[in-house]
Amino acid sequence: MTGQQDSPQRSSFFGDNALKLGVFCLNVSGGMMLSGASKPTLDWDENVSVAKAADDAGWEFLLPIGRWRGHGGKYNANAEQYECFTWAAAMAALTQRIQVFATCHVPIYHPMLAAKLSATIDNISGGRFGLNIVSGWNAAEFGMFGIEQLPHDDRYLMSAEWLEIMESLWAKHGELDHQGRFYTVEKGYLEPKTVQQRPVIVAAGQSPAGLDFGITHADYCFVGSDNWDLLEQTMQRCKTHAAGLNRELNALTFCTVVVKDTEAEAKRYFEWYVDELGDLETAQRLANNIISGGAQALPPELVAKRARAYVAGWGALPLVGTAEQVAEQLARLSGLGIGGAALGWLDYTEGIDRFNAEVMPLLHQAGLRTDTRSLS
In angstroms, rounded to a whole number, what is the distance separating the alpha carbons of residues 310 and 285? 10
**Residue number, nearest CB to ligand FMN:** 210
- Smallest distance, Å, CB 206 to ligand FMN? 5
- The least distance separating ligand FMN from the CB of residue 312, rounded to whole angstroms, comes to 14
Backbone dihedral region for residue 261 (phi beyond 0: left; psi -120 to 50: alpha; all else: beta): alpha
| Span 247-276, contacts to ligand FMN by CB under 6 A | 254
Q: Which of 48, 108, 147, 290 is close enough to bind ligand FMN by CB under 6 A?
A: 290
Residues present in the chain in total? 376
DSSP 8-state code for residue 77: T
Tell me the pairing of strands 61-63 and 317-321.
unpaired
C-alpha distances out from residue 125 to 8, 84, 87, 184, 270, Å: 10, 15, 13, 30, 36
293 is an interface residue for ligand FMN by CB under 6 A:
yes
We find the least distance from the C-beta atom of residue 138 to ligand FMN, in angstroms, to be 6
Which residues from 50-69 bind ligand FMN, rule CB under 6 A?
65-66
Among residues 205, 313, 318, 340, the one that binds ligand FMN under rule CB under 6 A: 205
Tell me the number of residues near ligand FMN by CB under 6 A: 19
Name the segment binding ligand FMN (CB under 6 A); options: 117-125, 142-150, 286-294, 304-312.
Answer: 286-294
Q: How far is CA 44 from CA 47, 63, 124, in A?
A: 5, 16, 19
**In the bound complex, what is the minimum distance in angstroms from residue 202's beta carbon to ligand FMN?**
8
Quick note: the x/- pattern for ligand FMN over 331-350, rule CB under 6 A, is -----------x--------
| Peptide bond before residue 192 is cis, with ω within 30 degrees of 0 | yes
Instruction: Indicate the DSSP class of residue 366.
Output: T
Alpha-carbon distance values, 112 to 164, 169, 292 (Å): 11, 8, 28
Residues contributing to the site for ligand FMN (CB under 6 A): 65-66, 103, 134, 136-138, 204-207, 210, 222, 224, 254, 290, 292-293, 342
